[in-house]
A and B are shown apart, each in its own frame.
Chain A
Amino acid sequence: MSESSIEKNVPVVKQSFARYKAHNIIEEGDLVVVYLSKENMVIIRVQDGEYFNCKFGTYKHADMIGLEYGTKLGSSTGRGFLYLLYPTPELWTLVLPHRTQILYIADISFVMNFLNLRPGMSMIESGTGSGSFSHSIARTLAPTGHLYTFEYHQERANAATKEFAQHELSDLITVECRDVCKDGFGLENMVDAVFLDLPAPWEAVASAKKAFKQDKIGKICTFSPCIEQISRTVTSLSENGFVDIQMYECLIRFNEIRVIPMWTIDEAMEKQRAIEKKRKRAVPREVSSKIKSARTEVSVDDSNTSSTVATPTSTAGLDSEESTSATMSLSTTEADVVPEPRERIDPQNITVTKLPMEQRGHTSYLMFATLPPALQRPSLAEQKANQGGN
């Protein structure tokens, strides 16, 4: 875990979003996710001679080189610090430049699990969008699988191509600028799974059907925010022979955790009593000091009831305070046997959770369907029958 564990003679493998580096050490040219706070993360490429500036200070890139990922780094001015994190698809989702609406972890995770993505599979994604999901898919299909991603917007396709190259994902992802609803995918008998995040997914279903490997089961997922889109897609999926159509919504809830004090009412009363008692004791001393400062009797009364510096308070406030002190003095006489009341009581703390006041209520409907194999392999019984015939 320290520098001593750097394996010697490791072949040079470039840093990639699809795998970790064998030695976990930041090198010149690496991408690093700079963590300032949960809401404030930035991705940078470490280059000797460069500086990273933020409101927490200035940081030399040179200081980062040679550190283990995850290290806390102090600024050169000594006024702030940050954490240097390894770039992963999950962090990328939080720091990427948005070119479109993107998928977040709840949907990404559920779709990947339902489509049973694993190393070695090939898959279609359309559209590429900002490439948020593409990173997660590529990581999961690596090292032998492949993602074909389609984007009809030329600039977005170019930007994605460039990003995948920078993130060393080019050998896992092929980007194509193409309107799949009009021109189809142009792939046949190639993939195990298809993911459609399109305004009109029903227009791409027939072409997707061709792209599936024909001799095995295929799984498709469409991602649509509106229920009307779902209706049209269901019809199209069913017409094209997809079965077992299921629809889900998945949301993730982030809990805020707080430690809150919980005084009992007895503790609160005890505290109150202590304050009362102190106040009574304080009267003679205050009176004497006030007399010394040659104040009138009225202002002395004021300072009696209010513990803060004497400013004229409303009579209503005065009345209520006097009345409470009257009832409280009654209870103190009753509780004479009780030991000296404590003014400072450490309450029992309890840990609680709270959901944010505002949270995501809907992302999209996730619709899944299965394509049965078109080409049939012979069953054991058929194989035996054939052998018998020969």
Chain B
Amino acid sequence: MESVQHDQPVSGNPDTINAGEHVFIKMPSDNVKCIVLKPNSNVSLGKFGTFKANDIIGRAWGNTYEIYDKDNKTRIYHLDEINEVEETKNNNREIIDDSSAQKLTLEDIRALKNEGLKGELTGEEIVNKLKESHSAFDKKTAYSQAKYLQKKGKKFHKIFTPIKPTTYFVNEYFYTKNPVKIRDIRMDTLSQLLSYSNVHSGCKILVVDDTQGMIVSALAERMGGQGTILGLYDGDNPHYDVVKYMNFNQEILDSIKVLSWLRIHRPADEKTPDELQDVTQLSGKDLEGYHRRVKAYKIVEESRQILFESNFDALIVASQYKPESILEKLLQYVRGSRPVIVYHPHKEALLETSTWMRRCPDLLAPQLTESWLRKSQVLPGRTHPEMSTWGSGGSLLSATKIINKPVQAALTKRERLAQEKRNAEAKKLKRTHGETEKAETVVITELITTTTTTTTTVSTQDSVGPPSAVPVVLEGDKETEDERLVKRVKQE
């Protein structure tokens, strides 16, 4: 119950298409279909035909196949070279945009399509027929002709490309098909998250992932089974659905650990399986149940131990819940000089978190970024950005965990002199009244008010937080930054 659920862990050659694994099939229409490849089965691609799974199992990734005869045989299809389009004198002055140009009727085309499905005609032959019976084809510009052939090819060619699930491809697939599932995280945003997190083989990462495991998958791929990912989840089970599409081997799957928010701290009434039942009295189904419980209990205990070692190399939060409420609880488990990253589909949701981070004594230099991505069509002589591009891809808020020790150095010279004066007075006061404790508190509170220029910099830590954290922020550098900015503005 506590582990990630998988259909079947795979351990085949990562360079070849293996039976039982997830395969993404790209069709001429650019639509992508995701299947689990079962040996001896037939895979239907609708109007693009049907192929036999055995024909591609064992092959290397990266080929395109053509379904070519009545028995649904497949062969490797070599995509044409991209050729320069010859300029002609044609233009669209003579072209009347109506359906009369195509001499074939809808019924004729349907018949052609059926012949194609049966394997009696190839896609190329159908496209040629369409072209021949198009009265205005010769009047079209060369660019337009190329576009026409490409468009028709997308409808009638019976070719397909199996694609290996990688972080990028799976991300693109879900971002296109169902962005809500992965909380709108786009490929470029995810790539930046991976960079900022400095994830690598052997590191240990704490993650709160509500992108259905998109982030966990990306991290696991980059770690290659070395190191640990601990995912905190709420609800009955972790919903890391994306993980199962990645064809991870057992080693990588084992590097993903999970722990329920409810079980972080052992509840007072939690009993070990041994406390609940006497193993010597059990038999049959009861004994099986006992072993299951022991296993589940061990997994929880192991995850707790991983958490309480408090040596995480990154904290990544992509939760539907208020980010600062999570950071407050989890920052204490992260090492010094390590990245803390929050992802959210809505930038506005991160604004409060950002101001919270600025006040947090354990975080340095929070930075709110969003990414912009544009794809272009690239063909010789016909290169241009695509007409529609992606909108939002989500926002990242990243900072560095620091070990905050209050240092005298945070004071300016004037403040230091003032403090020395106050200390001297306090000593005097102490001598005269003997009210030791009171005098000291006065000095401390005064110190706080003098060292902080804005009201926001005094933050009293809420219940949870690293024991080393001192509830005084001495934001010397942050203020100098601001001051510098003000100066610059003034100069301008």
Report which A residues bind B (CB closer than 8 A): 1-2, 5, 18-20, 24, 35-39, 57, 67-75, 77-86, 88-90, 105-106, 108-110, 112-114, 116, 118-120, 136, 139-140, 142-143, 215-218, 227, 230-231, 234-235, 238-239, 243-255, 257, 259, 351-353, 365, 367, 370-373, 376-384
Contacts and interface: CB of A to CB of B under 8 A. Distances in A.
Given A113-B168, A378-B58, 6 more contacts: A68-B403, A106-B188, A118-B224, A249-B373, A257-B368, A373-B62
Given A216-B62, A379-B56, A380-B57, A1 B466 contact: yes
Given A69-B336, A108-B195, A376 B59 contact: yes
Contacts of A136: 195
Interface in B15-65: 15-16, 19, 39, 52-64
A83 B380 contact: no
Interface stretch (B148-156, B235-243, B274-282, B351-359): B351-359
A373 B376 contact: no
Nearest to A257: B354
B364 interface: yes
Interface of B: 15-16, 19, 39, 52-64, 76, 79, 81-82, 84, 161, 164, 166-168, 187-188, 190-192, 194-196, 198, 200-203, 221-224, 226, 309-311, 313, 332, 335-338, 347, 351-352, 354-355, 358, 364-365, 367-381, 383, 385, 395, 400-405, 407-413, 416, 456, 466, 468, 474, 476-477, 480-481
Nearest to A73: B407
A217 B190 contact: no
A82 to B, nearest CB: 8
Contacts of B164: 217
Contacts of B39: 380
Chain B interface SS verdict (over half): mixed
Given A217-B61, A381-B54, A231 B403 contact: no
A365 B376 contact: yes
A220 B395 CA distance: 28
26 contacts: A5-B310, A38-B365, A70-B335, A71-B402, A72-B405, A85-B400, A105-B195, A105-B196, A110-B187, A113-B190, A114-B187, A215-B15, A216-B60, A231-B380, A235-B84, A249-B385, A252-B369, A253-B372, A254-B369, A255-B370, A259-B456, A365-B376, A372-B62, A372-B63, A376-B76, A381-B52
B355 A351 contact: yes
A1 B84 CA distance: 62
A84 B374 contact: no
Given A259-B355, A379-B55, A70 B200 contact: no
Nearest to A88: B198
B224 to A, nearest CB: 4
In the A-B complex, the 8 residue pairs with the closest CB atoms: A70-B336, A217-B62, A74-B407, A74-B409, A70-B337, A113-B191, A119-B224, A109-B191
B405 A245 contact: no
A173 to B, nearest CB: 15
B373 A250 contact: yes
Contacts of A113: 167-168, 187-188, 190-191, 194
A80 B476 contact: yes
Given A24-B336, A69-B336, A110-B191, A118 B221 contact: yes
A245 B81 CA distance: 11
Contact of A379 (B57, B190, B412): B57
Nearest to B398: A90
A192 B313 CA distance: 28
Given A110-B188, A113-B168, A250-B371, A243 B60 contact: no
Given A24-B335, A217-B61, A71 B403 contact: yes
Given A106-B192, A112-B195, A217-B164, A372 B335 contact: no
B62 to A, nearest CB: 3
B188 A72 contact: no
Contacts of A243: 64, 79
A82 B316 CA distance: 25
Contacts of A114: 168, 187, 191
Contacts of A71: 336, 402-403, 405
Contact of B60 (A250, A377, A380): A377
B409 A78 contact: yes
B480 A72 contact: no
Contacts of A384: 54
A112 to B, nearest CB: 7
Nearest to B63: A372
A3 to B, nearest CB: 11
